[in-house]
Amino acid sequence: MTSETVRKNAVKVLFVDDEFIEFRALKKKIAELSEPLVEVEYSPSIGDALEKIRAARFDLILLDNRLLPNADFRETVPELRGIGYTGPIGVVSTDISGGYFQEFPDYGVDFRIGKDEIDAQTLQHIIREYVHYDVPDFWKDDYSI
């Protein structure tokens, strides 16, 4: 398989967080995934994310809940949807217990997850659940339980 074929088949994730250290942590967790191949790009702001989405295709966006100057996902997700992004968006936060998180479907968010909950297994589950991806045969047994 050529590197171009691998890149074409990779699940492309855009991680939007104003803390670069969070991106580094996510990259380490993604490195533990054996399947699927995941390419992750980083955006430090919603403005940068909007530019990247206009320029390239992403299969999934993981978005920090609070990005300055916006208050939270209730402002940032409508901006992403407003430029035509229709793929899954997950809001990632240190604390997802706030009552306003119950409103996430009203703003175009597909799921929410605590930063401490993200690991390789969780990322595989998110990709299976929200991203169109050809599931390898060895995963299909997992669905027959």
Of 80, 66, 59, the C-alpha closest to 131 is: 59
pLDDT classification of 132: cutoffs 50, 70, 90: low
| Torsion sign over Cα 72, 122, 131, 7 | positive
Written as six digits, the tokens of 37 are 């191949």
**How many Å apart are CA 72 and CA 66, to the nearest integer?**
4
Nearest to 125 by CA among 143, 109, 137: 143
* Across 88-99, average pLDDT: 86
Tens-place pLDDT, residues 1-11: 434 444 567 89
| Separation CA 91–CA 145 (nearest Å) | 29
Mean pLDDT of 50-79: 92
Distance CA 71, CA 109 (A): 15
Predicted model pTM: 0.82
Task: Report the CATH number of the 9-95+103-131 domain.
Answer: 3.40.50.2300
How far apart (Å, rounded) are the C-alpha atoms in residues 13 and 65?
A: 16
Annotated domain spans of the chain: 9-95+103-131
